[in-house]
A and B are shown apart, each in its own frame.
Chain A
Amino acid sequence: MDAASPAPTSTGFYEWNPEEDDVLICRAVREETHDVKSFIFAPRSQRRFAFTPGQFLTFEFEIEGEAIHRCYTISSAPSRPDTVSITVKRVPGGPVSNWLHDHFRPGQMLKAAGPMGDFSWTHHPSRTGKYLLISGGSGITPMMSMTRTAYDLAEIRDTIFLHAARSPDDIVFDDEIAVMSRRNRSIRAAHIVEGDSPLQAWPGFRGRISRAAIEAVAPDFREREIFVCGPSPFMAAVRAILKEAGFDMSRHHEESFNFEELAPQEQAAVEEAAAALESEVRSWKIEFAKTKRVVECPETMTILEAARRAGMRLPSSCSKGMCGTCKSKKVSGTVEMHHQGGIRQREVDAGMMLICCSKPRSDVVVER
């Protein structure tokens, strides 16, 4: 796992530290196509994300009381570090994608670990400086992250962006890709679709991914570092085409978004991350009864700290459990408290706690 340490960046912000900032808050949900949405996340405190384009995050979803872990490639670019986004296509019967589409709203939180993975031109630079990004369906997300980064940084990086979709309506980020390629001529984009859509007759390439399509879009594909992401049959087809064309497969990189198809090393990393999320990073609701505020508090964070991050100002002084200034009545819930003499067992027995040194072990209601 590529854990960034929380060192100040040149902007004065702190870098995102997945060890500490493992709860992300949803800032916005964007409709990309009829069945694709992007979910934009921010850390809860003022920190900036650091990752390489193409990497993925492991999320924990609590759906109907069950913790489900899924990996999603970051679709946003690290050059816009205040948020990260994932782009999710609705999958018929898919528990997570449907839940995200139907129930997940701005303001809600998710636990996340990462970033992970080395599916990135940062890790596999091209000797010739030329790249071919081939994506199918929602395999477009790592390609978008890389292309957006190159665009933001005004890199002259010879990039051919080849995307295969079912119909013109299914091309995610169509407009944005067009804008990027128009304004940075080193980015050239081409799409191949299987058929027209009801409102749009497709003038470009048709059919499935093929050697002809690749050769037509990138006649010099043999000189390029090739990155492929999409459904498994799609990636298998590309692999076969390239092999048959005598491509040097050491310059071929692919990324699956099926856990089973990840490299064993990545599988281990994801499993570790998922375990870490599950065992260490539960988050609880802290309700402040008098002020009627509710904040989320990861169980690794003190209630006072979570309240502060949510903008509340509560009486406190030492923050170490010594002075007792933050002593509060616990109406309900369980906390783990490590004080330094600021409270007596009798007071604890009477339902008091020091919120500066109490971490939630359940949802908690505080009389404040």
Chain B
Amino acid sequence: MLDRTDTSLTSLLRRRRPGYSLEAPFYTSPEIFAADMDAIFERHWLFVAVEPDVPEPGDVMTVDIGRNAVLIVRDDDMQVRAFHNVCRHRGARLVHEEKGTVGNLVCRYHTWTYNLEGSLIHAEHMGEGFDASCHGLKPVHIRSLEGLIFICLADEPPADFDEMAAVMGPYIAPHNIKNAKIAHQHDLIEPGNWKLTMENNRECYHCGANHPELTVPLFAYGFGFAPEDLDETERAQAERYGCLVTDSHDDWERAGIPSRMREHLDDMVTGYRTERLPLDGEGESHTMDTKAACRIPLGAFPSAKMGGLHFWTQPNSWHHFMGDHAVTFSAIPLDAERTLVRTTWLVHKDAVEGVDYDLQNLIDVWMTTNVQDSELVGFCQDGARTAGYEPGPYSPYTEMLVDKFCNWYVQRMRARFDPAPVAAVAA
């Protein structure tokens, strides 16, 4: 058994070699998984839902984070709230469905009834001295960033969420997520540790070889390349792409659409990165024909060619906002070797399936890509279990963001478990 206060975990954290993947126990050990849940998932802002998951008053959804059960509900004033999904009577789970609609929140066991603000409003047979006001639902911190719902299970959540939100708000707002509807939602359980899921997401080194569909809309060199490896043709393409990015940013920002890269992946507790990147082909959307999948745009954009706004958050999400639709991804660890990836496709709420968009066309690229990624994550998980695994080097050109993810992770773990002062990691 690995004692969290023992040097085992702390020494693993301390001896982590920057620029290299993590040692095997980080991907396989149930004890380190438990430590991850404690230090990372019970103490940081997690992306778990979008406002269109609970579009109307009384809409409720559940999300389980490790040992914690959380419910998210929209109240009658259209405010979204989160509570521990646990009755204050004898602890029964309150809401059982993944999604539903309630009047009030009623425990099925003894009909203790809470309003959507979490106050206990009805409990029979509890006698004269019973004070209902002491038995309201326990709130969970919740923030909506332009329709993206983050929760934090800590008593005192990281304060720098506001700083991130102040930067990111203007980027996301034009995509009007609050006014979107969920066209499709898909849960995929990847056969790997949550960190492998995240690492896989933070690079496109593997895209060329594995994602023929995704690389139709995405430029092959959009996420870095080693210049010396390129031949003349490739170099010319890369240069054209570089110019396209610069020109596009100028155009978009002139039109009032924030687009330039902002990155704080490992120098903030609430680490994040954003950038609006041009798309290949028609340049409109993540589709096989690179054209908009939905006839009704998400927001009021100057053009259909809005590229893809990328938004990454530590520890568990990535997002793509296009002119016609958006795709959000939430990674929720299930155990040391399994991770739930929930993908949500959003279109304007007035869009009608089969009329304004073809669902298959809308979800095709990412449904296919997710399955490919899941398989790749499984390969690494399998490898991490073998005696032959040892941490390997990240590409300095295409895997910088993976390294930053690991930096952030090690830093946050050391902040929790390593009594020695943690050296700041440079951005």
Contacts and interface: CB of A to CB of B under 8 A. Distances in A.
B124 A324 contact: no
Interface in B97-139: 101-104, 106, 111, 113, 115-116, 121-122, 124
Contacts of A347: 101, 103
Contact of B58 (A317, A318, A340, A344): A344
B57 interface: yes
A344 B57 contact: yes
A295 interface: no
Nearest to B104: A341
A222 interface: no
A317 B56 CA distance: 26
Interface residues of B, number: 16
Interface in A323-368: 323-325, 339-344, 346-347
A323 B58 contact: no
Interface string A285-322: 00000000000000000000000000000000110101
B122 A341 contact: no
Nearest to A325: B111
A340 B119 CA distance: 14
A324 B106 CA distance: 8
Given A317-B111, A344-B58, A323 B106 contact: yes
B101 A346 contact: yes
B106 A343 contact: no
A341 B115 contact: yes
B327 to A, nearest CB: 27
A331 to B, nearest CB: 21
A317 B110 CA distance: 9
A170 to B, nearest CB: 59
A317 B124 contact: yes
B56 A342 contact: no
A344 B101 contact: yes
Contact of A317 (B57, B101, B116, B122): B122
Contact of B122 (A318, A343, A346): A318
Contacts of A341: 76, 103-104, 115-116
B66 to A, nearest CB: 30
Interface centre among A322, A325, A340, A346 (most CB of B within 10 A): A322
Interface in A135-157: none
Residue among B76, B103, B121, B122 with most chain A CB within 10 A: B103
A322 B101 contact: no
Nearest to A323: B113
A322 B121 CA distance: 8
Contacts of A343: 103
A19 B188 CA distance: 63
A341 B121 CA distance: 11
Contacts of B56: 344, 346
Contact of A322 (B57, B58, B76, B122): B122
Nearest to B111: A317
Contacts of B113: 317-318, 322-324, 342
Interface string B153-184: 00000000000000000000000000000000
A357 to B, nearest CB: 11
Contacts of B124: 317-318
Nearest to A316: B111
Contacts of B104: 322-324, 341-342
A322 B122 CA distance: 8
Contacts of B58: 344, 346
Contacts of A324: 102-104, 106, 113
B122 A320 contact: yes
A320 B121 CA distance: 11
Nearest to B75: A341
B95 to A, nearest CB: 13
Given A318-B111, A322-B122, A325-B111, A339 B103 contact: yes
A344 B121 contact: no
B111 A344 contact: no
Contacts of A346: 56, 58, 101
B122 A344 contact: no
Interface string B57-88: 11000000000000000001000000000000
Contacts of B121: 322, 340
Nearest to B108: A325
A321 to B, nearest CB: 8
A340 B115 CA distance: 10
A324 B76 CA distance: 16
Contacts of A318: 111, 113, 122, 124
A204 B320 CA distance: 109
A340 B113 CA distance: 11
Interface in B204-244: none
Interface string A114-137: 000000000000000000000000
Nearest to B58: A344
Interface in B38-67: 56-58
B308 to A, nearest CB: 35
A320 B123 CA distance: 12
B41 to A, nearest CB: 32
Contacts of A325: 106, 111
Contacts of A320: 122
Contacts of A344: 56-58, 101-103
A56 to B, nearest CB: 44
Contacts of B102: 324, 344
A324 B102 CA distance: 9
Contacts of B111: 317-318, 323, 325
Given A318-B113, A341-B115, A344-B57, A323 B101 contact: no
B187 to A, nearest CB: 25
A346 B57 CA distance: 10
Contacts of B101: 344, 346-347
A37 B164 CA distance: 87
Given A341-B104, A341-B115, A342-B104, A323 B57 contact: no
B122 A323 contact: yes
A349 to B, nearest CB: 11
A356 to B, nearest CB: 11
Nearest to A327: B103
Interface in A61-82: none
Nearest to A343: B103
Nearest to A318: B122
Contacts of B57: 344
Contacts of A322: 103-104, 113, 115, 121-122
Interface of A: 317-318, 320, 322-325, 339-344, 346-347
9 A-B pairs with least C-beta separation: A317-B111, A323-B113, A342-B103, A344-B58, A318-B122, A343-B103, A323-B106, A324-B103, A323-B111
16 contacts: A317-B113, A317-B124, A318-B111, A318-B113, A322-B103, A322-B122, A323-B113, A325-B111, A341-B104, A342-B104, A342-B113, A344-B56, A344-B102, A346-B58, A346-B101, A347-B101
Given A317-B111, A346-B101, 6 more contacts: A317-B124, A322-B103, A322-B104, A322-B113, A323-B104, A347-B101
Interface of B: 56-58, 76, 101-104, 106, 111, 113, 115-116, 121-122, 124
